[in-house]
Each structure stands twice: as C-alpha cells, then as structure tokens.
A and B are shown apart, each in its own frame.
Chain A
Amino acid sequence: MITVETLKEYGADVNQGLTRCAGNEALYLRLVQMILTELSSETLGDALQNGDLEKAFEAAHKLKGGVCNLALTPIADPLCELTELLRNKTPGDYGALYSRIVDKTKELSSL
C-alpha cells in the first residue's frame, strides 16, 4: 500500500513532495496514484519502440514534470536523464533508461 512511510522506504523525497502539495498528505498520495497511472501508459514505450524521438520527448517531458514535483526520486533520475537525451536527440541507450523507469514504476505500484 502506498503510504508516506512506504514511499520513504521506496526512496521518494517525501518531505519535498509534500511541501509542494502544501503539506496536504491526502493530495500527495492521490497524485502519486495519478502519476502511477500515467507512468503505466504505453505512450513513451511505443514512441521509443517506433523511433519517434519527438513524441517520446513530449511524453517523457510531461511525465518528468509530475514525477519531479512529487519527488519520486527513483523514477525521476532515469526519467530526467532520458528526457535530456531525447531533447537533444543524443544517441544513447534509451531502452536501458526506459527499463529502469518501468522497473521503478512496477516497484512503486507494488508498494
């Protein structure tokens, strides 16, 4: 179950995320659930699969905004790295970064 405690154990910077939600714990947890739904969407994965880097960047950038604001550090780190690579269309191992994101998302949803 996703709680402030389990999120802390997971590695999220809960204090920062809560501060951004004006200390509203219920809102914070609700938003974590929301971002989890977004992270489970296939949009980013499909775009990467199809080599549509523009679309992949848009999807990654959008997710990054929410994930970083909620301070979900384990996902935020690979997601930021991926977004920057995509922004500059730098060739790199997008697949590996995406896998880390997927793994950490699964980990989050199984809390």
Chain B
Amino acid sequence: MAGQSKFRISEEKKRVLLVEDEIVNQEILKEILGDTYEVIIAETGEEALKIIEERYETLSIVLLDLNLPGIKGIDVLGRIKSNPAYVNLPVIVMTSDSEAEVECLMLGAIDFIPKPYPAPKVILARILRTVELSEDRETLRLTERDHLTGLYNKDFFYRYAAQLDLYHKDTPTDAIVFDVNHFHTINDRYGKTRGDEILKLIADKALQFVKENGGIACRSGADTFMIYCTHRPDYQSVMDRLSVCPDGDDSGKSRIRMRMGVYADADKTLDIERRFDRAKMAADTVRDHLTDPIAIFDHSMREEEILAEQLIDDFPAAINEKQFAVFYQPKFNVRGDVPVLTSAEALVRWNHPKLGMVSPGTFIPLFEKNGLIQTLDKYVWSETASKIREWKDRLNVSLPVSVNVSRVDLFDPELPEKLLDIVKDSGVSTEDLLLEITESAYTEKSETVISAVESLRGCGFRIEMDDFGSGYSSLSMLSDMPVDALKLDMLFIRSAFKERKDTRLLEAMIGLAKSFEVPTIAEGVETEEQFLNLKRMGCDIIQGYYFSRPLPVADFERFITENKKA
C-alpha cells in the first residue's frame, strides 16, 4: 500500500502553522516539532491569513511571531480571534518583548514562547498541552450543545443546573418543561426545514428569556425544551415569551400550540433529573389542553403515577391469584306491575393484597390506556360465564349477565372466537352473556366497530349500548347501529332528577329508542321517584341502588334465591 494514505484520523500528523520570517528560527522549530507535527511555514502575516482561511479546519495550532514584515503579528492575532470560524484555533505567540504579552493575552493568545527559545522539551510540552486543551474544549463545545438550536443538551444541562445549585443553595428555583403539541404535524404541514426553523425560533426565545431572567435552557428531545431558573410567580408570561408563529411572523395570530409543565419552587434535595421528571409529569397532564396549556406539579400527580405503576406491576399476579372479584348488580324488567329480575351486570373490583379494595374508576382507565384491559375483560367474561352455568346447575336459575366489552377488544379480529370459546367452555349459550359496548366506542372508527358488533350479533350475542347519551353519536347513526338495548348514561339520569327536575330529554331518548324498537335500560336509579318516573316514561329495565347495589357473588346468589321465592 506504499504511497497510499492509511485514511485513519489517528495516523494523520497534526498540523502546526509557524508564522516566522527568520529562517534560523524556522529551522530550529522544525527540528523540535518535525517528529510530532507537520509544520507549515508562513513568512508574512498575509501568507499566514491565507493559509488559515484555506486550511483552518485541519490546523491544530498557530505559532505566531509578532515582528513580521507587512501585517504585524498582533494584527494577525486580532483577525484570527475576531473571525467566528477560526476563533477557536489556538495561538501561541513567540516574542522577546515581554511587554507585548498582556496585549496578546487580551486579544486571545493562549500562551507564550519566549525568545531566545527555552529548551526544546519545554516548547514541545507547551504546544502538546495547548493542542490537547484546545481539542478538549472543542469536544466539549460540540458535545455540550444541541447542534440544531445551540442550546445545551440534556446531560450538560443537568450538570450545569446542579452546579448552579451549588452556588445558589438557598435560591428557590423552578424546573420548567415545555414542548410543541403534535410537532410532527408541523413537519408534515410546513416541511422539515420549516420545522427545524421553528425549533430554532423557540430555542432563541428560550435563550433570550434566560439571558434576561437568569437560568439555563436546553433542548432535551425532538421538540422538548427545559428551563431551570429562579422561582417566579407566574408562568403564562413565560409561555407567551416562548410561543412562536408557524409562519415566523410574530405579529400573526396563529401561534404554535405548546404545553408547559412546571415543578415550582422545586425541592432541592431531589436529584435535578427527578425535579424535571416532575415538571414533565405535570406537562403530560395538559396535552391538548388548548385553553389551559400550563400545569404546575403537585404531589397528587406523583402519587397517581406511582399508584399507576404499582397497579401495572401487580396486574399479572392479580390475574393469576384471582384478586379481581366480579360483583353482580341485578337488572329488573319494570314493564309489568311487579318488577321482575331479568338479568344482571358483572362489575369488576380489585381486592388488592396491600391496597385493599381498589375502585374500578382507578384501574379501568389505566388498563384501557395500556391495553391490559383486554386480559381483564377476558377474565371477567370467563368468571361470569362459569357463574351463569353454576347458577343454572346449583340454583336452577337461568339469568343472563352483561359484561363490558372495551373499545380495544372490538379491534381484535379474534374477538368473536374468544367469546364463543368462553361460552362453549362454560357450557352456556350466547344469549346468556350480554355484551355492553360503550357508546363512545361507536364514534371512533365507527365502521370497524359496527362491523365487529355485527359479527358478534351474527354469532348470537346480544349487544347493549352502554352510557348512551354521554357520547356524541348522532341520532341518525342510531338507525345503522346494530344494538339490542340502549343503556342510558347514569349521569344523564342523575341530571334529569336534580333539584330542578327536567326529564324532557330523558323522555325523548326513551321515545326515540321505542321508535327504533330497542328496549331501554336505566342504570344508577337510586330512588323510588326516579323508578316511578322512568317506568311511566316507558323505560323497560332498571338497574341501580333502588333495587340493589352491586353484590359479591355469595350475596348475589342469596339475592337470586330470595327473589325466586318471592
């Protein structure tokens, strides 16, 4: 491979630009440095500046004699240090004039080599050290900052924030996290170049803010920024300062929507990262809040998150150990003179070994978010189906029970088979297991949902539309919706029977269901007044505390038995 460069950075000799017009001095330095460096000679200031302009990226250091013909050394130094492209190129001045030293230092020279020269080892050591320091500084410059915006990156930001704490132990501080709502859509709408420009604009504003108010700022992720600053009384003004317009015109009305989380007057005994975790936790609570995009961390957020994590961790054991208990709430047909027990709803409770009874309001939304709900639903379906079978055998009672089918289940193409397997394995029929599907499931991707529901009905299952009146399904959609019963939203019933009773809407709903020949179920019925009114309005089935609260299985079995006798 003779004559061919090895093309390895580690084997390239570093380059020294020696600006020196005296040939004897040139020769001496070449002798000293030649083994370690490639020495490039410039005999005049003009020549030196030309070489720097052309090759500054591959120069490691400049050794500069002050007394040059033409442009003086001191002017060469001034020009190097005033040009942003070469400002980081280290310059060692060589002079016999000790008076020039201060001026050169002020101009940015990094060191001196006196004339006559000191011992070669001293010269070499000074140059080596300077090059090393300058490379370290350059590495730091490249790594501590985010290339796009010039703000600190996260690691260095945390480090500098912790250093600020050391100097300002007693100063109250805020950890602020903010990001752009759905930033990817900005890239999609305006292009990546414009997206990057927007990030730069936001970064500039953040930088300006910390320049004026103190503190430091960083870009911690794609469109996420953080500010560590002294505690302030309000954050809307910060948000206003940071917001930009997508078209770059700050006078424009359309602003990019951002959200902000603040951990105000942060606890300094916590790691800096934990403090920003809290700010992030707050920010996560206001995604898509257009009117109130700023959230201040409070401890309930942390407790909620910790609880959520614990519940997720404990979920598999809870399924294996059957910690989930299925409660049953009876439903009565009220069309005749005497209410008749006609079915029940299966409702899940978590009997947690450490936390006690956990409300479904706590874990259902959580499991809906992370998909665990599918496992839980299946568990409830099986438990319920086997109870229905047991009651047939042991109590001689055939009572259909409705179970919840979550939105995510409807997107599972194997849902009908899974349900059919459960029904088959338990020895019950599809008519015994009623399926409750919440109205809001129909509004999103309604075609997929409607076809899933149709295929369930095709298998013989009956569908009850849950929470009817809470969602936004249009009345016209009702005619296309394959349902066997409408279950009126509990809140809807409560509000109809509030202090200023207004049941007109409720009556209209029931009337509407009748016109589609679909029976109505009212849940959350607590009083006789509610019961009588609903019955009068033509409501078919009633569920609620008026008849019974949801009962553990043993109590429910007693309830069935007594009801049967009656």
Contacts and interface: CB of A to CB of B under 8 A. Distances in A.
A62 B31 CA distance: 19
A16 B23 CA distance: 19
A69 interface: yes
Interface in B438-488: none
- Chain A CB count within 10 A is highest, among B24, B25, B32, B119, for B24
Interface in B301-330: none
> Size class of B's contact patch?
10 to 19
B24 A31 contact: yes
Contact of A70 (B24, B65, B67, B69): B24
A3 interface: no
A68 B96 contact: yes
Contacts, number: 59
Given A20-B117, A65-B22, A68-B116, A27 B27 contact: yes
B46 interface: no
B137 interface: no
B120 A69 contact: no
Contacts of B65: 65
A58 interface: yes
A78 interface: no
B24 A35 contact: yes
Interface string A43-71: 00000000000000010011111111111
A6 interface: no
Contacts of A1: none
A20 to B, nearest CB: 5
Contact of A69 (B21, B67, B117): B117
A65 B119 contact: no
Interface in A1-52: 16, 19-22, 24, 27, 30-31, 34-35, 38
B116 A20 contact: yes
Nearest to A13: B116
A34 B24 contact: yes
B115 interface: yes
Interface in B53-112: 65, 67, 69, 96
B67 A58 contact: yes
Given A22-B32, A24-B31, A66 B25 contact: yes
Contacts of A67: 24
Contacts of A38: 23-24
Contacts of A66: 22-25
Contact of A20 (B23, B67, B120): B120
Contacts of B532: none
B28 interface: yes
Contact of A65 (B31, B69, B115, B120): B115
A61 B22 CA distance: 10
A21 B116 contact: no
Given A19-B119, A30-B27, A65-B22, 11 more contacts: A22-B120, A27-B27, A27-B31, A31-B27, A35-B24, A58-B69, A65-B24, A65-B65, A65-B115, A66-B22, A69-B28
Q: What are the 10 A-B residue pairs with the smallest beta carbon separation, nearest first?
A: A66-B24, A68-B116, A65-B22, A22-B120, A69-B116, A31-B24, A61-B67, A66-B22, A62-B22, A35-B24
